[in-house]
Structures are given as C-alpha cells and as structure tokens.
Amino acid sequence: MNFDYTDEQKALKDEARRFLADVCSTEKVRAVLDDPGAAYDEGLWARLVEQGWCGAAIPEAYGGYAFGYVELCALAEELGRAVAPVPFASSIYQFAEGVLAFGSEDQKQAILPQVTTGEVIGTVAFAEGPGTVEAGPFATRFEGGTISGGKLPVIDGIGATHAIVQAGREGGYGLYLVDLSAEGVTREPVATIDPTRGAAKITFDGAPAEPLGEGGEGCQQLAAIHDRAAILLAFEALGGADRALEMARDYALERYAFGRPIGSYQAIKHKLADVFVKNEVARANAYYGAWALSTNAPELPVAAAAARVAASNAYWLAAKENIQTHGGIGFTWEADCHLHYRRAKHLSLAIGGLREWKKRLTDRVEAAHRKGRAAA
Amino acid sequence: MNFEDNAEEAAYRAKVRRWIVANKPDLSKLAPDQRLIWAEGHKAAMHAYQKAKAEAGYACISWPEEWGGAGGSQIEEAIFAQEEADAGLHLPYFMTGLKMLLPALLEHADNDLTRARVGPAMRGEEIWCQLFSEPSSGSDSAGIRTTATQDGGDWIINGQKVWNSGAQFADYGMVITRTDPAKPKHKGLTAFWLGMKTPGVEVRPIKTMAGDSELNEVFLEEVRIPDAQRIGEIDNGWAVVISTLMNERAAIGGSAGLNWPEMIELASSISAGEGTAMDDPAFRDWLAELYVNAEAKRLLTFRTLTALSRGEAPGPEGSAGKLIWTALSQDLASEALDQLGPYGLIDDPELSPLGGAFQQRFLWSAGIRIGGGTDEIMKNVIAERVLGLPGDVRVDKGVAFRDIPHGR
C-alpha cells in the first residue's frame, strides 16, 4: 500500500518546486500578466524543455523521457502552485496525449519528438462559443483535406504552433491536425480573465488539415483526451489551492487587528480549516486519478471527473477566501491573490465548466453502479 | 500510487481473512431485533468472537508482547480491522477499552493490578468506558469539576460525568478528576480507573433525540478507590487524556452505511413525470458533490494506511476525515428525505425505504457532528495543529482553576 508519491517522486517534486521558485517567481508571472503582447513566458518554456518536463510522459520511442504519469502529475502540481505562465497544459496534457492516443505511427514520429524539444507547442481547439463542450452543432468543417470555420476561445492559441481541431465531417465529427502557421489560418488574441495563459480566436479558411490517425468519432476522442487532461489539470488546481491556502495562512499570522493576529480569530481559523478540508478532498480524488492515469484503469473516466470536480471546488474556495483573508490589500493588482483567483477559474473552465463535469461524473457513476449491480 | 499490499501485508491479509471467515459469528441465527449493536444477542455473539480473537492472538495485534499483545505492526492491526469491517463485523463494546483506554493505562500505570485487567478485556469479558466529559466540560475538555481527594491510602471521588458511551454495560471506567483547583486548568487533573459497580457509582442512560440510549450520565458520590488505581502522577492526568486521544487517532474503522449507491437506488425508485427522481438535473448535480466527498472519505483511509504501512504516524488528513464524513451524513439524510417529499416524513420500518434508515440517519447525524470532537473543535485542531495558526485569546490561561469564570 502506497497511496502517495514514492520517495523518488517526492524528490522530483521537491526539486521541481525549488526550480520553479527560482525561474517562475510571481514577478515572472506578472511580467506576462502586464504585457498585452506576451502569450507566454518564452524563457521559462525553454527552461522547462531543458529539464525534460515536456517529454515527461512521452515514450522514449517518440523522443520522450517517459518519467511516468505520476511524475507528470507531480510536475503539474508544482506548475499549478507557481501559476506558471506557459502553454504546458495545452501542449502536454492535451495535444501530446491526443497525438499519443489517436495519431498514426507517422504522426507520432513526426510530432512527439518536437513536443519534447518544445519546438512544437500544441493545443486542442474545440469551443466555438458559449455553452458546454459537449453541446453542438459545431460549425467548423473538414472537407477535402482542408478545414474551414472558427474556434473561440483556443487556450494558448497564440503561442501554439499546432492544434488538434475538432471539426464536422460526413456523418459526424473528427479530430484534425493543423499546422497553425499554414495559409488559411488567422489568429487574433482574445482578452481573458487569466492573461497569463493567453487565448485566441482562430479562423480557418481552407487551411490544410490531416485527420488524426485513422479517424474515429471525434466527440468521443475529444472526451477521452479531456479525461486524461482532467486529472493533470486537477493536480495544477491542487497545487494552486495549496499555495493560496498558504498565502492566506501566512497573511493571517502577520496581519494584526484589534491587537492580535487575525489568524487567532475563529472567523479566520474556521474559514481556513474549511479550505484545508476541501483541499484534502481534492488531494484524495486527484491521487486516485493519478493512480487511474498511471495504470490505465477502467475507473479512469469516473476518477477523472471526480478529480476535476473536487479540484475545481477546492481551488475556487481557496482562491476566493485567500482574497477575503487579505482584505483590501488582497483586492489590489499589486497583491498576488488575483493570480490564483484568475487561474482557479481558468482551470475550472478550460475543458468545460464545473456543472458540465458534475453532470458527466454522475452519468458515469450511475452507469458504473448499474453495471456493477447487473453483474452481481 | 497503488493500493496493493506488499508481499508481507498480502500474506497477512489472506491469513486473517481465512481466520475471520472461519470464526465469525452467524448472526442470522438470532432474532432480527437481537442482531442490532448493543442487543443482548449481538453482544453475546461478539463476546464469543472476541474470546476466539484473544486465543488466536488477534485481540491486541499491535500491542507489545510484554503487555500481552501480539507485538505486530499498526498496519497489521489496520488490515485486521479492514477485514472485519468487510466481513460485516462490528464490535464497539471492546474498542474503547482495547484501542483507547488500556494502552494509556499501561503506558502510565504499568503494575500488577492494571495488568490483571488486560486478559479479561482482551477476551471480551470486561468492557471499559470513558468517564471524561462533564456537564460543564465538553469541548473545554480540561474543565473537569469532578473532584478526587485523598483519604489515607484511598481517594474519594465526587462529581458527575456525561456522554459516556456504553457505561451501562461497562465493568470498568477511566475517570479524570480534579485534584488541585488551585492550579491552572490543565495542571491539577489526575486520572484513575474504577469498577463501575463500586459503591457510589450510578449510571443513568440518556435518551438521545435519535431515540437510542447508548449514552449515559454517570454520578459519582463518595466513591472510594485505592491509590493503586491512580493512573500516572498526581496532577498529571492531562498527559493520560492526551495518550487516549492519540490512540483514538490511530484506530481505523470501516465506514459502512448509507452512501451514494443508496441515493441512486432511492432516486431511481421515485417516480417523477415520465421518469424518476434520478433524472432531475439538480439532484444529479448534488450527487456529484456527494460522490467526491464520499470518495475522499474512502480514499483518506488509504492515506492513513499508507502512513501506517511505512511505520509513520497518520498525517493531518485524519482531522479532515471526520468533518467530511459527518457533513456528508447529515446532508445525505436531508436530501433523501427531500427526494421523498411528504412521504419522507414517515418513519416506519414497514413503510419507509430501507426500513427507515434515512430517517434514522436524519436524526442521529445531528449527534455525530458533536460527539468525538465538535465540528468547531475539529476546525480549531486543523487551524492550530495543521496550519499553525495561533490559539484564541484565553481568559483561563495561567489562572487557578477555581478562579476561572464559569456559568451555571
């Protein structure tokens, strides 16, 4: 029984934390926040590539380092803690996982080594407007080797070099690989609540595209990509939630009111204890997700949805109560609290909102329950 | 990340599983009302089973051998408890004594007299209860007013205890008393053990709002006990209290009972328009929240087991577990009744779903948020011990106990 990181994984995580404290201080995050032209921190991205992080879960046969998925979860937790302004989630948790799961051998050979070296930055483009990820119809179409339509928003869509695009085709939907530098692709930045992870509106006008692998049902494939990403994003949210709680705790110790630290008032203590409990709920569910991800367990769809719901809940509570604990100073641009407030909602929306994932979770839990009863 | 036992643990689990299957009592032979915990039939069956456990060396697995234990590890103890829970066995009668009180007793008063109590407790012949809380000492657990005064080689105890689980069935109790009211609150306490049949001890069951009477008041009037039944140093009783609480923290229980599967079954059984209550999006949204909390409770046990497996003390996740579980329990019951609509009012074993289990849970879930550390105390524990926030400003600090302001 070891429902925890191993000692080696803990060492990796500690090292990642020290490394990010050095190369990804909140000043670095703010530099991207304050620069309307910056899509991400290119210097930081280069450092992550040097560390081999982009190839953490990519098999050696495709140029990766294959540390393992629990290791990738550990890195995600630290990146989330640091509010890292890089397209890591889009490129590694979604794009690379999509190519690995559904790409042809040629596509894997051509793309994944470059994902590891950071030359290819990928993203997955699915949303076309307000509403759930599942809801269609989607207007973007694939026909005769090209793609036409538009996606909004595409997270990391400015910094990305490639995208997996969900598009309609004869009789359904498919996933298509698109080189975003190709003719027929137009990208415009869109302002978002979390500018440290820039997003784009991407218009395709007969842009060259190739089906990802043999093709297949695009909505199901997208859901499979999102399930795996949900677990990794849950670790980012968990890292952020832990950090937001620490910030609130530290401030509650140093801020005095009515002659004593505000952290000695039960109004603050109980609030932060509630945050701790929610974080523990998120941690337990995220770890279960990591187990499912690393073992390809049949429980993965349920575990992924549970990890996402629990982590979204936790980061939201931690981020908003961190601001509340800080009081007025927490509401300023100068304080770091809003970095977490923004990122918490960003992560919670990125692959579909909380309500959509709660619905998915109950659908899956119910289906598994009925299947279990039928088998019994 | 894995849930698998290591080779040693797996072998141990297989061994104890076989033993439990071979020795567990067959409750189906009992009348239905005798299968309930605290019913005479259930108690007798569990007593026989406990005796078999003691003979096989499973009564006190992790106790050192010099105390009569098996000298095993915490993880072995936890594996055995898990397997018992999986086998549907519940033995609350012996837990207070064997898991909490006797280890503290032996730690602080290891002598022939206390040692003589170990064997009978292990065999389930003697049941122990805790005599800690008082009418004015609940969350403020050091606010003990029961007094013990020395009289030659004896002590005379006077006062009142309350919320004593199973005291009406207990043979022995551990009692915390105030021996020096001139000292500050935590300093003037002394612990003793006593026979519940000692003259002057009167147990009165309390009927709770849930209708059961497992809890009691215990009145102590001129109760005379020898100094040999003192546990630890005079005025050092707080250390004994802390030992029992630490033992409680390491104990692992199974969490059986109503959970999300019962909620799915319930909602699916209630007609609503074309379909069932299970189709209601608001209910489905609620169920997702319940599920992640229930999963957290289940998975936190594995976090504790991981720590025990490494030979470490359980981490802070345990303090979160109680809050998660009690909130979930009450919320689940309330939601179940709400699903039933006016029919949810009915608390009748014949008419209510699951024989009225949701209605029972509705009532007793109010109590589990109070017993064993209130929500508020658990949050203080997390805030102070885990997050490192300061204690509240206290007006009783360093003040002689008798001078501390108090209400009625």
Task: Convert the pLDDT of each residue in A109-160 to its tens digit.
Answer: 999 999 999 999 999 999 999 999 887 778 999 999 999 999 999 999 999 9
Instruction: Residue A214: name the closest of A56, A76, A107 by CA.
Output: A107
Q: Evaluate whether A23 touches A44 at the Cβ level (below 8 Å).
A: yes
Decide if A366 and B292 are in contact by the 8 Å CB cutoff. no
Q: Which residues of A touch B380 (CB under 8 A)?
A: 266, 269-270, 273
pLDDT of residue B249: 59
Best of A361, A362, A364, A371 to substitute, by most chain B Cβ atoms within 10 angstroms, is A362
What pLDDT is attached to residue A278? 98
Provide the H-helix boundaries in B35-158: 40-56, 74-86, 92-95, 102-108, 112-122
- Virtual torsion, Cα B309, B313, B315, B320, nearest 10 deg: 100
Q: Specify the higher pLDDT residue, B219 or B93.
A: B219
Task: For chain A, give the mean pLDDT.
Answer: 96
Q: Does B261 touch chain A (CB under 8 A)?
A: yes
Largest CA distance in chain A: 73
- Which residue of A lies nearest to B78 if distances are taken between CA atoms? A1
Q: What DSSP character marks residue A93? A: I
Euclidean distance between CA atoms A228 and A98, whole angstroms: 9
What pLDDT shows up at residue A136? 72
Using the Cβ of A265 and the Cβ atoms of chain B, whether some distance falls under 8 Å is answered with yes
Is residue A332's pLDDT more than 70?
yes
Per-residue pLDDT tens over the stretch A53-85: 999 999 999 999 999 999 999 999 999 999 999
For chain B positions 270-329, those within 8 Å of chain A (CB to CB) are 278, 281, 284-285, 287-289, 291-293, 295-296, 299-300, 302-303, 305-306, 309-310, 316-317, 320, 323-324
For residue A25, give Cα distances in angstroms to A14, A74, A86, A196, B193. 16, 18, 13, 13, 58
Query: What mean pLDDT do residues B67-80 have?
Result: 90
On chain B, the residues whose CB falls within 8 A of the CB of A4 are: 1, 303, 306
Distance in angstroms (rounded) separating the CA atoms of residues A223 and A228: 9
Contact A269 B323 (CB under 8 A): no
Looking at residue B32, its pLDDT comes to 83
| Cross-chain Cβ contact A270/B391 below 8 Å | no
Q: Search chain B and give the residue with CA nearest A261.
A: B390
Q: What is the mean pLDDT of residues B385-389?
A: 94
- Residue appearing with tokens 């538009």: A150
Give the model's pLDDT for residue B251: 57
Q: Model pTM?
A: 0.94
The whole-angstrom separation of Cα A12 and Cα A348 is 26
Contact B284 A309 (CB under 8 A): no
The residue behind tokens 């299957």 is B21
**Contact B375/B323 with Cβ under 8 angstroms?**
yes
Q: How open is the CA angle B236-B241-B244, to the nearest 5 degrees?
A: 135
In angstroms, the separation between the Cα of residue A269 and the nearest Cα of chain B is: 5
The C-alpha of A141 sits at a distance from chain B's nearest C-alpha, in angstroms, of 32
Query: What is residue B330's DSSP assignment?
Result: H
Calculated CA dihedral for residues A206, A208, A212, A213, nearest 10 degrees: 120
Contacts of A70 in chain B (CB under 8 A): 1
Under the banding of pLDDT at 50, 70 and 90, the label for residue B256 is low
Residue B408's pLDDT is 65
pLDDT, averaged across chain B: 92
Q: For B21-72, what is each residue's pLDDT tens digit? A: 999 998 888 888 888 888 889 989 999 999 999 999 999 999 999 888 999 9
Q: Quickly tell me which residue has 């009012």 as its tokens.
A: B345
Does the pLDDT of residue B252 top 70, yes or no?
A: no
Please give the interface size between A and B, counted as residue pairs whose CB atoms are below 8 Å apart.
Answer: 158
Confidence of residue B255 (pLDDT cuts 50, 70, 90): low
- Going A100 to A106 to A112 to A113, the CA torsion angle's sign is positive
Please name the amino acid found at residue A287.
Answer: Y
Pairing state between β B230-231 and B189-195: antiparallel
- Give pLDDT, residue A208: 98
Look up tokens 């009692």; give the residue: B175
Largest CA distance in chain B: 80
Predicted pLDDT of residue A138: 87
| Residue whose structure tokens are 């677990």 | A231
Q: Is A296 on the interface with B (CB under 8 A)?
A: no
A318 to chain B, closest Cα gap in Å: 14
pLDDT tens column, A254-274:
999 999 999 999 999 999 999
B133/B176 Cα distance (integer angstroms): 9
pLDDT at site B2: 86
Tell me the C-alpha to C-alpha distance, in Å, between residue A315 and each of A132, A322, B236: 21, 10, 44
